[in-house]
């Protein structure tokens, strides 16, 4: 690889005052050795676990049997833990969807008088509820009282920093929609959802980030359709066409970096302060909740450390959930549940898919690395290391709706889902970069460094191995352990005990099934009520789906990185609407 190529990559990734995040293509011998060590580690641990299942079942079947029982107990605990947090997250999501965030945004500036006004409103509403004879009216008033009490609690805390608020009317939202081959029919609903947002349209900028690799005629037609439909509905409608430069990969990260730099030029020409702009980097099929921009603005203007925050909504794959196939529905619904759980413990959160950041922070950290695949999470880690650990994700408990994988036929849909999961699992490429960044940063405490590295490594290791352990390890000692082990009491009881423990762990599947029906978008008229039965029985495919479309893509990605067989470009998920 030429030195000019590497120098250009470093220049493109350079942040404020020459700050740089580690480059995955580093040629410095010391840094390259570190890079390769941390690239090999995740894959090596995964393969050691998979192969160790067979080796230890052969030589040490008794110890493996004990390990199985302990692991099953751990899995029951984890299942209950995830189930509880899933329910709590659902309740919070449901509550946030009922809040008028524009109302809160406008009223929070009243200061201390707001507290007394809300307290009076609660008293008046309580009296009104007691005097009402209508059950429906009492229910509606009760909801208002709950909302006001919630606002009162939040307002008291936020008003402690009243002098550090910024004027919400001066906050602009740049909605970036990176796209490669997606047509106008995919992108238009996303922009339409932005237009329906409960936020002033003269403070919204649409940034259509296109790629040179797309057929020029198709690109022109797409841009023309979208501009004619939405060009005059916002403060600005900007379109860019990214051409891959030396030092860049053909990937989403290089496209977003180019588009963001063009946005910076536009804002400077309009004399709009960068610190007053929130950039939402959305998958081009993302449909925002109507309250998202108002809720996001509220979180931004009330936080004294607003430039040291990223903001993450809850991804739901509802755009075409009824149209896609059962295995995909199970995969994407499980993904949504996981992000709901993560939102309940923000210290574990990392930006994913569609998210928002202060634009000045994006500029200061040097935008997205132009030679990585997983652009959504790496931008968080750049911010975390740039601010020496004083950077975090704030969850916005509102849904954004995306497309689930859907191909031309059943088999193509399965293949595309595998490739998408493999691309998500390729996020382990962040592990060596973060490890190197931590080694070079002396201001972040070792406790925080170890915690984040372990969380990332353990998460990807579990992703790659857990379903295999649950599916196969319970039987391996019986098959490979030999006659002596099979005659033991433990061997005779192992299948019965593991079956019992896994039956208890089914509570997680039951909770997932229940919540999936509560979260499900309305049934399209083209489908009959019988479709609900398919939605129910699809969950019985989970034991097959978990290893094939869950763990296998993760093993695939980790093995590629371990062997140095890197992806050369970002695989764009095929998007089809029925």
Is the predicted pLDDT of residue 6 greater than 70, yes or no? no
**What are the tens digits of pLDDT across the range 377-409?**
999 999 999 999 999 999 999 999 999 999 999
Q: Average per-residue pLDDT in the chain?
A: 93
pLDDT of residue 508: 84
Mean pLDDT, rounded, for 505-528: 90
pLDDT of residue 428: 97
Mean pLDDT, rounded, for 77-82: 91
In the chain, the number of structural domains is 1
Q: What is the DSSP string of 235-285?
A: SEEEEEEE---TT--BSHHHHHHHHHHHHHHHHHHTT--GGGEEEEE--TT
Q: Report how far residue 168's alpha carbon sits from residue 410's, in angstroms, rounded to the nearest whole number.
A: 48
Domain of 133, in residue numbers: 112-161
Mean pLDDT, rounded, for 64-79: 92
Is the predicted pLDDT of residue 54 greater than 80, yes or no? yes
Q: Report how far residue 231's alpha carbon sits from residue 225's, in angstroms, rounded to the nearest whole number.
A: 10
pLDDT of residue 9: 54
Q: What is the DSSP string of 427-492?
A: GGGHHHHHHHHHHH-SSS-HHHHHHHHHHHHHHHHHHHHHHHIIIIITTHHHHHSHHHHHTSHHHH
Domain assignment present for 490: no
**What are the tens digits of pLDDT across the range 21-39?**
999 998 899 999 999 999 9
Domain assignment present for 156: yes
**What are the tens digits of pLDDT across the range 323-380?**
999 999 999 999 999 999 999 998 889 999 999 999 999 999 999 999 999 999 999 9
Domain assignment present for 412: no
Total-model pTM: 0.92
Domain assignment present for 271: no
Domain assignment present for 418: no
Tokens of 36: 């390769």
Domain assignment present for 87: no
Mean pLDDT, rounded, for 285-300: 98
Is the predicted pLDDT of residue 548 greater than 80, yes or no? yes
Domain assignment present for 136: yes
Domain assignment present for 144: yes
Is the predicted pLDDT of residue 463 greater than 80, yes or no? yes
């Amino acid at each position: 690889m030429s030195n000019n190529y590497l120098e250009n990559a470093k220049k493109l990734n350079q942040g404020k005052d020459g700050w740089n995040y580690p480059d995955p293509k580093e040629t410095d011998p010391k840094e390259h050795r570190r890079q390769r060590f941390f690239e090999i580690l995740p894959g090596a641990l995964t393969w050691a676990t998979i192969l160790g299942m067979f080796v230890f079942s052969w030589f040490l079947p008794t110890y493996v049997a004990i390990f199985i029982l302990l692991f099953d107990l751990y899995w029951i605990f984890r299942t209950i833990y995830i189930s509880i947090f899933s329910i709590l997250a659902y309740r919070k999501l449901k509550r946030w969807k009922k809040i008028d965030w524009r109302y809160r945004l406008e009223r929070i500036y009243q200061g201390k008088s707001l507290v007394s006004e809300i307290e009076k409103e609660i008293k008046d509403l309580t009296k009104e509820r007691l005097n009402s004879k209508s059950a429906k009216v009492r229910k509606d008033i009760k909801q208002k009282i709950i909302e006001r009490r919630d606002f009162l609690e939040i307002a008291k805390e936020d008003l402690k920093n009243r002098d550090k608020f910024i004027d919400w009317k001066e906050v602009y939202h740049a909605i970036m929609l990176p796209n490669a081959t997606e047509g106008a029919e995919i992108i238009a609903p996303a922009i339409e959802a932005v237009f329906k947002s409960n936020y002033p349209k003269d403070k919204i900028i649409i940034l259509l980030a296109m790629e040179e690799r797309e057929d020029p005629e198709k690109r022109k037609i797409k841009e023309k359709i979208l501009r004619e439909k939405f060009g005059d509905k916002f403060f600005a409608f900007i379109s860019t066409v990214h051409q891959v430069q030396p030092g860049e990969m053909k990937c989403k990260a290089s496209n977003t970096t180019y588009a963001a730099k063009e946005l910076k030029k536009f804002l400077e020409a309009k004399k709009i302060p960068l610190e007053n702009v929130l950039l939402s980097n959305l998958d081009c099929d993302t449909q925002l909740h109507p309250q998202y921009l108002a809720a996001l603005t509220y979180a931004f203007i009330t936080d004294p450390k607003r430039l040291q925050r990223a903001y993450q909504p809850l991804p739901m794959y509802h755009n075409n959930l009824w149209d896609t196939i059962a295995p995909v529905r199970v995969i994407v619904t499980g993904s949504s549940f996981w992000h709901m759980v993560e939102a309940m413990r923000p210290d574990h959160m990392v930006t994913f898919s569609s998210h928002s950041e202060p634009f000045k922070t994006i500029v200061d950290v040097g935008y997205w690395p132009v030679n990585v695949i997983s652009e959504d999470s790496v931008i968080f880690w750049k911010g975390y290391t740039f601010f020496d650990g004083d950077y975090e994700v704030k969850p916005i408990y509102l849904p954004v709706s995306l497309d689930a994988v859907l191909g031309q036929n059943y088999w193509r849909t399965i293949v595309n889902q595998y490739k998408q999961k493999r691309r998500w699992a390729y996020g382990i490429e962040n592990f060596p970069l973060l490890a190197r960044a931590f080694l070079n940063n002396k201001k972040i405490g070792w406790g925080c460094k170890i915690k984040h590295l372990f969380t990332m490594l353990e998460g990807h290791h579990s992703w790659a191995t857990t379903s295999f352990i649950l599916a196969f390890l319970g039987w391996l000692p019986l098959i490979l352990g030999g006659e002596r082990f099979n005659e033991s009491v433990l061997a005779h009881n192992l299948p019965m005990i593991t079956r019992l423990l896994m039956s208890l762990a089914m509570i997680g599947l039951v909770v997932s099934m229940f919540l999936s029906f509560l979260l499900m978008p309305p049934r399209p008229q083209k489908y009959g009520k019988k479709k609900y039965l398919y939605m129910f029985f699809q969950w019985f495919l989970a034991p097959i789906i978990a290893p094939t479309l869950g763990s296998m893509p993760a093993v695939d990605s980790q093995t590629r990185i371990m062997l140095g067989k890197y992806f050369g470009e970002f695989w764009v998920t095929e998007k089809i609407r029925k």
